Every structure is written in structure tokens, then in C-alpha cells.
Amino acid sequence: MIRHHLAGAAIGLALVFAIPAQAQLLAQPPAQAPTAQPDIAQSHLLAARDVLTLTGISDSFESIYAEFQKSVRQMVLTTRPELQKDTDEVIASLKVDAEKKREEIVASAAFIFAKHMTEADLKEVANFFKSPAGQRYSAARPKALDEIFALLQPWSVNTSNFLFDRFSEEMRKRGHQL
């Protein structure tokens, strides 16, 4: 289930840039490890955080704790129901740590967006998501992503099988038996 939410976040990132908001993501070729991170103005980082919030990307990070809570409770309490009180207390005590971890990824994601987009572009994206069309997009996105995710696994298996069959066919034409 965590993979579902992470995949949702990844798809959400991709869909953010598919909207007609005229935002430009600067593609950078893979580079060697940077020696220093660029300085980015606080207002630029805040604009990036605003986009993360408005697009629902930051909500995807929040869902990891909920999934952790559900999984641990199911795993432990299925076989050890007598541990319910302690399990619930420990899980609740971990909420603060989970929030700190969430803040780390939000800060990192904001930095990445700010590194790749200008502050003006980020504000334009935010304005789109505040608009009626952006709000409709945000309302439709969760259901659309669930449907897309449901398609992804069988599609990826079918596509891999198709490509492998075509590969095998082409190799046989060249006299190779696999």
C-alpha cells in the first residue's frame, strides 16, 4: 500500500506538469555529485512548498504514516491482540517522529522544485491550482490516480511480455535461439 501512495506521488508529480499552467521544468542531464547546493531564496522555497501543498504531493507523504500505522496494527494485532493498548500507544508516540520525517521530505521536495523552476513559474503553477480549473483538477486527481495505478501493473507486465516476445522473434530471425 505504501508503494501505491509513493507511485501516486510520482504520478502526481508527472501530472502536475501535464497541466496547461505554462510551468517549465528544466531538464538537467545527469551530473556528477554537486560540491555545493545553490542558494535559493526563502520566498522561492515557500513558493515551491505552496505548489507541493496545492497539488497534493505533500499529502502523499502524510499517507505513509497512516499506512505504517495500519500495517503495524494488522501485523501485530492479528497474532497478538493482547498487545493492542501498547501497540496503539507506541504508534501514537511515533507520530512526532513521522512528522519530522515528513517535514524532511517536504523540505527536500521544495528544494528540488525550486532548483528546477523559477519562483515566478512556481507562483504561476500555484495560481493555477487556486483557480476553479485547478481546484477541479485537484478534486479529480485522487480518483484518476487510483484508476491509473490500477492500469499500471497489468500494463507494465503486458508491455514487458510484448517487448520480450518481439525481442525473441527478432533474435530468431538473426539465427539466435533463446
Q: What digits encode the pLDDT tens for the residues 14-63?
A: 433 343 333 333 333 333 334 446 689 999 999 999 999 999 888 888 88
Tell me how far apart the alpha carbons of residues 24 and 3 are, in angstroms, rounded to a whole number.
28
What angle do the packed helices 119-130 and 132-173 form, to 10 degrees? 110
Tell me how far apart the alpha carbons of residues 72 and 161 are, in angstroms, rounded to a whole number.
35
- Retrieve residue 37's grid coordinates: 547546493
Q: What is the per-residue pLDDT across 62-98, written as a single tens digit (0 to 9) for each?
A: 888 999 999 999 999 999 999 999 999 999 999 999 9
Q: Is 8 exposed, middle or buried (CB count within 10 Å of its CB: 0-12, 13-18, 19+)?
A: buried
**Structure confidence at residue 124 as a pLDDT band (50, 70, 90):** very high
- Is residue 11's pLDDT more than 70? no
**124, 21 in Cβ contact below 8 A?**
yes
Tell me how far apart the alpha carbons of residues 118 and 27 are, in angstroms, rounded to a whole number.
13
**33, 124 in Cβ contact below 8 A?**
no
**Structure confidence at residue 147 as a pLDDT band (50, 70, 90):** very high
For the chain, the structural domain boundaries read 2-16+41-150
Cα 166 to Cα 31, 153, 160, 170, distances in angstroms: 34, 20, 10, 6
**129, 55 in Cβ contact below 8 A?**
yes
